[in-house]
């Protein structure tokens, strides 16, 4: 069965972990609520921003929004501003914006999602240069979450291809979380086999065979693993694994850092085509710029996202083990090339999933 036909049962059981709490100033809105979002505008002193983001970022932005609002109102006395959130699979969110969801800003986990909006004329071509660090305020990496005591003795990627092991993973076809997991496995296999792509495919096919279902998002995968108690290993972002093992369910899970894994970057951009129409360009730019402030970088570290601020990262180095990582573009080419070769219909993911 190809990856395009795999689907998640998480929506039928339980609710997603740690859904964002809503306040009068920082609300979460579903991606489908485009018509409601269209009514947002900068009218008088009232500014409403919509941040469309990937699913496991909800915990960060739930806390970030009040920080930004406080700072914004201190700089602009008497101004009224609120921020609404929309979370889901990164690429699904990008498609929603491309199809009309009126986002002022997008905060994604994959550059290609913003490049899609650039091609649609919604984001200007200079979006990377408008912010520090190529518009990536923090990074993460892909790790394994296992049950307490690591009963299956998972130590590295190679262990995930063993028989009698069940893996939980987000859908690589539609989610950034799943794509980083897939590319992390494939990149490890390439290195282990001296660049032999045939052997890397053989390994990754075995790994995918141990994943009976592709979940519809990173948080859905977490819910399946932690609440439904399905699977032996969850492949996910470092920040999500820490949030679960340290905050949501302490003493129930452990994090395993593979010997070689993928670096994930979380790019951000103003959706110029929307913000200009709504008159929110300046506020949207401030919203994103504040991500590099010390309070925001401290918040990122607190939630186990690797901050760009070197001093903040050094302060929290105990939470971020040194690990050998690779950038996907260094190994696999541009995101356009990656998407076409690996994740398009009939691509490598479909080919390897068909062998399950």
pLDDT tens for 24-56 read: 344 454 443 333 333 334 545 599 999 999 988
CA 227 to chain centre: 20
Residue 245, domain member (yes or no):
yes
Q: Into how many domains does the chain fold?
A: 2
B/e letters for 197-235, b = 16+ CB within 10 Å, e = fewer, are eeebbebbbbbbbbbebbbbbbbbbbbbbbbeebbbbbb
Interval 297-328: pLDDT, tens: 999 999 999 999 999 999 999 999 999 999 99
180 to 25, 81, 171, 294: CA distances (angstroms): 33, 35, 10, 28
| Same domain as 315, residue 271 | yes
| Same domain as 327, residue 309 | no
Local structure of 152: helix, strand or coil: coil
Residue 77, domain member (yes or no):
yes
Residue 1, domain member (yes or no):
no
| Same domain as 133, residue 148 | no
Structure tokens that stand for 347 in this block: 């691509």
Among residues 342, 322, 184, 336, the alpha carbon closest in space to that of 264 is found at: 184
| Same domain as 258, residue 273 | no
CA atoms lying within 13 Å on the CB side of residue 257: 14
| Same domain as 292, residue 184 | no
Residue 153, domain member (yes or no):
yes
Helix (H) or strand (E) holding 254: strand 253-256
213: which residues sit within 8 A by CB, 6+ positions away? 6, 7, 8, 9, 168, 224
Rg (the chain; Cα; Å): 20
| Same domain as 260, residue 178 | yes
| Same domain as 224, residue 340 | yes
| Same domain as 326, residue 204 | yes
Dihedral class, residue 306 (left if φ above 0, else alpha if ψ from -120 to 50, else beta): beta
Residue 3, domain member (yes or no):
no
| Same domain as 287, residue 238 | no
**Measured distance between the N- and C-terminal CA atoms of the chain, rounded to whole angstroms:** 7
Contact 284, 49 (CB under 8 A): yes
Residue 25, domain member (yes or no):
no
| Same domain as 169, residue 95 | no
Among residues 1, 10, 6, 355, the alpha carbon closest in space to that of 172 is found at: 6
Measured distance CA(6)–CA(72) in Å, rounded: 44
Domain that holds residue 119: 31-137+266-319
| Same domain as 192, residue 308 | no
Per 3-state DSSP, the chain is made up of helix, strand and coil in percentages (nearest 5) of: 45, 20, 35
| Same domain as 161, residue 86 | no
Q: What is the CATH number of the domain that holds 205?
A: 3.40.190.10
- Tens-level pLDDT at each residue, the chain (356 residues): 333 333 333 333 333 333 333 333 444 544 433 333 333 345 455 999 999 999 889 999 999 999 999 999 999 999 999 999 999 888 889 999 999 999 999 999 999 999 999 999 999 999 999 999 999 999 999 999 999 999 999 999 999 999 999 999 999 998 899 999 999 999 999 999 999 999 999 999 999 999 988 998 889 999 999 999 999 999 999 999 999 999 889 999 999 999 999 999 999 999 999 999 999 999 999 999 999 999 999 999 999 999 999 999 999 999 999 999 999 999 999 999 999 999 999 999 999 987 55
DSSP sequence for 48-59? EEEEEEEGGGHH
Measured distance CA(197)–CA(170) in Å, rounded: 23
pLDDT at 90: 82
Contact 50, 102 (CB under 8 A): yes
In sequence order, the β-bridge partners of residue 147 are 253
């Amino acid at each position: 069965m190809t990856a395009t036909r795999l689907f998640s049962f998480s929506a039928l059981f339980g609710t997603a972990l740690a859904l964002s709490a809503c306040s009068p100033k920082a609300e979460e809105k579903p991606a489908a609520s485009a018509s409601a979002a269209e009514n947002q505008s900068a009218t008088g002193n009232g500014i409403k921003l919509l941040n469309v983001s990937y699913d496991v970022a909800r915990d960060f932005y739930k806390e970030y929004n009040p920080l930004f609002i406080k700072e914004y109102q201190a700089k602009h006395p008497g101004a009224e501003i609120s921020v609404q959130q929309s979370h889901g699979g990164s690429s699904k969110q990008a498609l929603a914006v491309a199809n009309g969801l009126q986002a002022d800003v997008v905060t994604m986990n994959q550059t290609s999602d913003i490049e899609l909006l650039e091609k649609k004329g919604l984001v200007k071509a200079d979006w990377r240069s408008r912010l520090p660090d190529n518009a990536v305020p923090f990074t993460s990496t892909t790790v394994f979450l296992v049950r307490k005591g690591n009963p299956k003795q998972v130590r590295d990627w190679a262990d995930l291809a063993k028989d009698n092991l069940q893996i939980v993973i987000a859908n690589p076809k539609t989610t950034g979380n799943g794509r980083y997991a897939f590319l992390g496995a494939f990149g490890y296999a390439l290195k282990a086999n001296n660049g032999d792509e045939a052997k890397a495919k053989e390994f990754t096919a075995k790994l995918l065979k141990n994943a009976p279902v592709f979940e519809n998002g990173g948080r859905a995968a977490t819910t399946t693993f932690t609440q439904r108690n399905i699977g032996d290993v969850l492949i996910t972002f470092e920040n999500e694994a820490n949030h679960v093992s340290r905050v949501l369910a302490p003493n129930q899970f452990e994090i395993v850092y593979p010997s070689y894994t993928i670096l994930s970057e979380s790019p951000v951009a103003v959706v110029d085509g929307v913000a200009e129409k709504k008159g929110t360009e300046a506020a949207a730019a401030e919203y994103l710029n504040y991500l590099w402030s010390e309070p925001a970088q401290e918040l990122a570290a607190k939630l186990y996202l690797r901050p760009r601020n070197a001093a903040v990262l050094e302060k929290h180095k105990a939470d971020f083990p040194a690990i050998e990582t690779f950038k996907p573009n260094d190994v696999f080419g541009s995101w356009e090339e990656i998407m076409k070769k690996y994740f398009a219909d009939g691509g490598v993911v479909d080919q390897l999933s068909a062998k399950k």
